[in-house]
């Protein structure tokens, strides 16, 4: 049996660990043959394949990125895209596809599997951890670790100087990275996309922090937006969710804090540093196990399903259902963390 | 209301995060007063207390160790120990105790709470992750991360030289650290206490690895023991579980591999490095949330219970039940990982 | 003999290591007594002192920041400032001062020592490594390490995606951090304040890089400025050196690259992360030895001098001379590194 | 012109950075052609070559190990070895050799260059930093960093428990790694091969440390040996330098401390972890510059010379002279550090 593998969407530490898990188990235990499709859905669309055997996955476990390349190509937006995919799979004699990706990439897999008879197994991938069907996605722990280490370093600067330090972390639509790294780093304010923030409240926390001890650290998710009255910036726009989007909310917030409190504020923008480099041990464990279980789904002919983490167990859920809803930060959890603000 | 806090047993990254979580929420939200007892159960036994207020917990989140000190003191082994504890709690006007510790420390809490009317709430602590009531214990992720980073570094040496590299990691009775770090580090052999290992099988994996690519890395838990026929070492003894204990199984195994395969073997013994230093972001998150929920148990008068992790939720379980059974590595999970051996 | 110690100017990993070295050797070997002045020159100006004995320096070696606090206070800008300092030193019975700081802080020490008879010994401190009298200053190695690790992580993202990644690092007037981290991180373009950059040349390197392999990484010092024709940004101003200052040259450059090449570009701004947190082993070694030798200068009555690194030796130089000239990146060294551009 | 490159001796982070520096500059600036010889001197002996062009050195900068492989082969110990080397160089049309290695590997280069007319340029490599001609060798800073991080982590365990922690680090003949990491890590005792240690003195420091604060950390170089009266171990032997060699001095010392002081002692043996993995930023900088300057030596026809670091400059020295003498720790430097003992 020949199985195809592809990775789609944004970069995420652990992608290579999934691929290695799939290939090692598939070849050694089930005698499968593998074909890697390049650059997400572009691969099966263009018939662009690469060798994927045991030597090809040697040494890739600790490496970030993906040896298969990635893209945001959506075959449903290509005239005759589905037909071309089916032809290319047939030409390569591929009988099943393991699709590793986020909402968009897996959404294609769900439709192909459910509506077009292309046997797909999904592996969830989002650095933002915002998929409701799984406790965690790989890459998230790595991103949180990098952001936490940065916040740790800022504490000594905060101790020595009287400056507000603003850290902008990833998270367009959800605040998981901000919440986890902010809590783990001992931030004094954490702002997430799920709840519009009030700049005056932020300034109140900042001011009270200066009184209690040393300088405050403010962690803000890139997708966090201020309340209406606070939108004084010119370059705001609406994003695809209808949210107000600020380009560089970290810089903007730092300037607002300076203006309103009279305290100097400095910004750190971690950017892509959070999604590159070697995965954490947790992410390697999770990604590897996702790979091992995904190939078991193939063996069981259990298509249209996705692997997911529940507690310490890997379970299977329908892809379509799994990608239907964004997992946002529960207000109760945010409130739990607020005890550390100010 | 005044609440006492103590930490018992071995060192574990995250202890301070728990203490901080308890105190921040207890003081700010419930208006509690706290007293820290020094050195585990020795504190209440001797009436040895320390200040535990908001300033006392400032800056301790990223620090390993415990600001309260620790010990393995068991008050049940002290004549009149329980009476002394009750007197000292009364003298300090302490109405509830939060007890952070492993099997032994929590075992005392369970008996005190269930049989002697001392209101205790438990927080589980074991770097070995071997408590059945909770998905994970804090400190474990940090230990796995440190061991994984060490294994990562050995790979380049393994690539350049023709030597077997043996890494001894923590784990007296269970192989969780060995299993997770061995998988995450891409080890070629992982040996755990739950399954006696066959030195000849280890040598076979070692030999096949040399043929397939470069030098093998063998991860061995400190409590792993060879099969009967392999016990050629003089200094073995039986431990309290009736297991054969080898002092320095890593060194012993390296010598056996050299003797049987003719290949040079070198050993790394990480030792206490694995349980010291700053906790990982995951462990800080888990430990902090354990602290926040433990103080909620106090508020609810829910004594004799212990906080535990289930998926992403913090739940409550009876201490007595939680500490009754060791969580060992499931043979099916070990088998899942064996695909990477050799 | 009683000796005063103060730290002035910006934050820098290693300050505490210097203080510890001074106190340990001074107390144990020479029987000195120490007084810490708070917040740089503000301390002696206001007579604000803190205990500085062996217990006070315990455990501070690995900690960033400074236990003495810091400021940019210049006593020469205070009416009667020098008289007040001399009075406060007399009141505290302080017979010598060890002054740890950069150009400004040490400049005060030089004048006090040379012109006003206040016996000062200097320890150089600048994260930017731009002091001509010493091979390296402590803090620099830590900053380079942090920036290099960030660049390392960006490589996997660069491999997987077709984006230009711009990293803005510290360096107002000199490009040492940019040059060292850019070289160590394998950057494809490095821009420093010493040489105005040509955006079209940057875009040519970026474009050629895309052809040769994967996406380019551009490291830019915060003080780097484009050539005249490239100054299209509105918020430029002249800094105190007469240079054109762009607020956020990283963001600006990313936008220019996007505009001119049509490639997406993303920015990382490390900011204060580079000067916080635990010092590297190299910086701890250097800072500790600076401290040990500074107290030897006091013992020898060698005032008006500063400790400096030459090769592996600690030497003494006149403070006034040492702070007279900025150590900029030698054009020949920059040229040496240019072989890796594009 | 065609140039050969080889790496010999033990593993060392930075080898790949040297190779990359040589090839990038040689190809791009001088138009040279390169041939890599495999596994040190075995390569030219057996005519075993590998491609060494720009694509071959892409991405190797941050990787430990050496893409050329290594060995301890000495052609002078092979019948007709030199003739075979000259024939193989002629066959490959190699007109110059860049030899990266330690004392032994470079010793061969010196003789080949000086006595047999084989044009060699040397690049010094020893993780132990024990070469007198250069301020530092690459790999050393990485090893010190790894050992320091391990010692850092032990401090929190030392704070919480009453145990002596012994850390065995690399250093057969010299104590540079022990001295630098011990100082940077804040160890309480540092033992080096250059000075026989007195176990009673060690125990006195250990005991006084327990009184002053928390548990002591003892750093011991693997080649450190006790004074005569202390040699109670059975498995000691003389090494090739006539020193008493203890297998596992760390374990031995821990047991002796336990026996003499009654305190529990635990050992960490870092082993090969210290010489694997990604090089530090400092080592990448140094190694890259060594590579750039080595190829300049080739261009200048400056054979029989070796590149070396003096301050911040790369200089050239005769190989033969450079490898003649071991750089041991100066007793005055050791005494400087002793202020931190106990």
pTM of the shown model: 0.94
> Is the domain of D262 the same as that of D287?
no
Residue D97 CB contacts under 8 Å (≥ 6 apart), including other chains: D3, D4, D5, D6, D44, D89, D109, D112, D118, D119, D120, D121
> Is the domain of B267 the same as that of B299?
no
Which residue positions of A form the known binding site for diphosphate?
A: 10
Residue D128 known to be catalytic: yes
Cross-strand partners of A190: A219
Residue D338 per-residue DSSP state: G
Residue A325 per-residue DSSP state: S
Contacts of B24 in chain A (CB under 8 A): 339-340
pLDDT at A203 over 80: yes
pLDDT at A154 over 80: yes
Q: For chain D, say whether C137 makes contact (Cβ under 8 Å).
A: no
> Is the domain of C79 the same as that of C164?
no
Domain boundary among A241, A274, A307: A274
Task: Check residue D57 and give its pLDDT.
Answer: 97
At B79-100, the pLDDT tens digits run 999 999 999 999 999 999 999 9
Could you say which of D69, D266, D272 has the minimum Cβ distance to residue B157? D272
At C99-116, the pLDDT tens digits run 999 999 999 999 999 999
Contacts of B213 in chain A (CB under 8 A): 58
> Is the domain of B87 the same as that of B200?
no
pLDDT averaged over every residue in chain B: 92
Task: Check residue A234 and give its pLDDT.
Answer: 44
At B325-342, the pLDDT tens digits run 899 999 999 999 999 998
Residue B303 located in a structural domain: yes
Q: Are D104 and D314 in contact (CB under 8 A)?
A: no
> Is the domain of B285 the same as that of B307?
yes
Residue A327 located in a structural domain: no
Contacts of B289 in chain A (CB under 8 A): 336
Task: Please state, in angstroms and rounded to a whole number, the distance separating the CA atoms of residues C220 and C182.
Answer: 9
Task: Please state, in angstroms and rounded to a whole number, the distance separating the CA atoms of residues D257 and D218.
Answer: 10
> Is the domain of A202 the same as that of A245?
yes
> Is the domain of D18 the same as that of D87?
yes
Contacts of D248 in chain B (CB under 8 A): 251
Task: Check residue B17 and give its pLDDT.
Answer: 98
Residue A10 located in a structural domain: yes
Mean pLDDT over B1-29 rounds to 96
Could you say which of A58, A213, A340 has the minimum Cβ distance to residue B24? A340
Residue A158 located in a structural domain: yes
As for the ipTM of the complex, it is: 0.94
Contacts of B147 in chain A (CB under 8 A): 281
How many structural domains are present in chain D?
Answer: 2
Pick the closest to residue D189 from D168, D172, D170 (CA basis): D168
Q: Tokens 């917990």, residue?
A: B57
Residue A197 per-residue DSSP state: B
pLDDT at D39 over 90: yes
Closest approach of chain C CAs to the CA of A197, in angstroms?
A: 23
Task: Check residue D231 and give its pLDDT.
Answer: 58
CATH of the domain at C237: 3.40.50.460
Structure tokens at A76: 């449903």
Chains with ≥3 Cβ pairs under 8 A against D? B, C
Task: Check residue A158 and give its pLDDT.
Answer: 79
Task: Please state, in angstroms and rounded to a whole number, the distance separating the CA atoms of residues D194 and D322.
Answer: 20
3-state secondary structure chain B: CEEEEEECCCCCCCHHHHHHHHHHHHHHHHCCEEEEECCCCHHHHHCCEEECCCHHHCCCCCCCCCCCCCCCCCHHHCCCHHHHHHHHHHHCCCCEEEEEECHHHHHHHHHHHHHCCCCEEEEECCCCCCECCCCCCCCHHHHHHHHHHHHHHHHHHHHHCCCEEEEEECCCCCCHHHHHHHHHHCCCEEECCCCCECHHHHHHHHHHHHHHCCCCEEEEECCCCECHHHCCCCCCEECCCCCEECCCHHHHHHHHHHHHHCCCEEEEECHHHHHCCCCCHHHHHHHHHHHHHHHHHHHCCCCCEEEEEECCEEEEEEHHHHCCCECCCCHHHHHHHHHHCC
At D96-114, the pLDDT tens digits run 999 999 999 999 999 999 9
Pick the closest to residue D311 from D136, D145, D184 (CA basis): D136
> Is the domain of D260 the same as that of D297?
no
Residue D112 located in a structural domain: yes
Please, what sign has the CA dihedral across residues C236, C242, C248, C254? positive
Could you say which of D136, D281, D292 has the minimum Cβ distance to residue C184? D281
pLDDT at B238 over 60: no
> Is the domain of C154 the same as that of C249?
yes
Domain boundary among C250, C274, C298: C274
What are the CA-CA distances from residue A216 to residues A182, A250, B321 (Å)? 12, 14, 43
Pick from A112-116, A201-205, D225-229, D289-293: least confident: D225-229
CATH of the domain at A64: 3.40.50.450
pLDDT at C233 over 60: no
Q: For chain C, say whether A19 makes contact (Cβ under 8 Å).
A: no
> Could you tell me the residue range of the domain that residue A174 belongs to?
141-274
Could you say which of A25, A284, A339 has the minimum Cβ distance to residue B24? A339
Of the residues D18, D180, D281, the best mutation for testing chain C's interface (the one with the most C CB atoms within 10 Å of its CB) is D281
At C84-93, the pLDDT tens digits run 999 999 999 9
- Reported as a pLDDT band with limits 50, 70 and 90, residue C234 is very low
Task: Check residue A235 and give its pLDDT.
Answer: 47
Task: Check residue C342 and give its pLDDT.
Answer: 87
Domain boundary among B258, B275, B292: B275
Question: Taking CB atoms and an 8 Å cut-off, how many pairs form between chains A and C?
Answer: 107
> Is the domain of B270 the same as that of B149?
yes
Task: Check residue B246 and give its pLDDT.
Answer: 57
Closest approach of chain B CAs to the CA of D301, in angstroms?
A: 31
- The chain D residue lying nearest B150, using CA atoms, is D273
Task: Check residue C215 and give its pLDDT.
Answer: 84
Question: CB distance A272–C70 less than 8 Å?
Answer: no
Active site residues of A: 128
The distance of Cα A83 from the centroid of its chain, to the nearest Å, equals 30
Closest approach of chain B CAs to the CA of D331, in angstroms?
A: 30
Q: Tokens 């790999």, residue?
A: D139
Residue A328 located in a structural domain: no
Residue A68 located in a structural domain: yes
List B128, B130, B141, B296, catalytic entry: B128
At C240-298, the pLDDT tens digits run 545 455 568 998 999 999 999 999 899 999 999 999 999 999 999 999 999 999 999 99
pLDDT at C228 over 80: no
- The chain C residue lying nearest D285, using CA atoms, is C184
> Is the domain of A134 the same as that of A283?
yes
Q: Angle at the Cα of A240 (from A237 to A244), degrees rounded to 5?
A: 35
Of the residues A281, A292, A307, the best mutation for testing chain B's interface (the one with the most B CB atoms within 10 Å of its CB) is A281
At D256-269, the pLDDT tens digits run 999 999 998 999 99
Task: Check residue C126 and give its pLDDT.
Answer: 95
> Is the domain of C7 the same as that of C97?
yes
CA dihedral of residues B26, B28, B33, B36 (deg, nearest 10): 60
Task: Please state, in angstroms and rounded to a whole number, the distance separating the CA atoms of residues A327 and A140.
Answer: 14
Q: For chain A, say whether B91 makes contact (Cβ under 8 Å).
A: no
Pick the closest to residue B292 from B125, B121, B134, B133 (CA basis): B121
User: HSE of C1 in the Cβ direction (CA atoms, 13 Å)?
Assistant: 19
User: Is C60 one of the annotated binding-site residues?
Assistant: no
């Amino acid at each position: 049996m020949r199985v195809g593998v592809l990775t789609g969407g944004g970069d995420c530490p652990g992608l290579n660990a999934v691929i290695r898990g799939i290939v090692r188990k598939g070849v050694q235990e089930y005698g499968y043959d593998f074909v890697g499709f390049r650059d997400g859905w572009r691969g099966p669309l263009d018939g662009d394949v690469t060798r994927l055997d045991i030597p090809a996955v040697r040494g890739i476990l600790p490496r970030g990125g993906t040896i298969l390349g990635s893209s945001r190509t959506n075959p449903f937006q290509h005239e005759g895209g589905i037909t071309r995919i089916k032809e290319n799979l047939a030409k390569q004699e591929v009988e099943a596809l393991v699709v590793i990706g986020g909402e968009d990439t897996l959404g294609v897999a769900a439709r192909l599997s459910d509506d077009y008879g292309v046997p797909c197994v999904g592996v969830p991938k989002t650095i933002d951890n915002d998929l409701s069907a799984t406790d965690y996605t790989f890459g998230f722990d790595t991103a949180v670790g990098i952001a936490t280490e940065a916040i740790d370093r800022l504490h000594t600067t905060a101790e020595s100087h009287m400056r507000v330090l603003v850290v902008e972390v990833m998270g367009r639509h959800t605040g998981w990275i901000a919440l986890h790294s902010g809590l783990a780093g001992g931030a004094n304010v954490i702002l997430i996309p799920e709840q519009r923030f009030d700049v005056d409240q932020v300034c109140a926390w900042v001011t009270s922090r200066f009184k209690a001890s040393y300088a405050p650290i403010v962690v803000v998710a890139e997708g966090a937006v201020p309340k209406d009255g606070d939108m004084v910036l010119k370059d705001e726009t609406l994003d695809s969710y209808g949210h107000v989007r600020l380009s560089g909310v970290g810089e903007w917030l730092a300037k607002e804090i300076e203006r309103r409190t009279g305290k100097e504020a400095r910004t750190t923008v971690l950017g892509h540093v959070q999604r590159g480099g070697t995965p954490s041990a947790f992410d390697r464990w999770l990604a590897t196990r996702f790979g091992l279980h995904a190939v078991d789904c193939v063996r069981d002919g259990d298509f249209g399903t996705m692997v997911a983490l529940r507690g310490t167990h890997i379970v299977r859920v329908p892809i379509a259902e799994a990608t239907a809803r964004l997992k946002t930060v529960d207000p109760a959890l945010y409130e739990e963390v607020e005890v550390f603000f100010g």
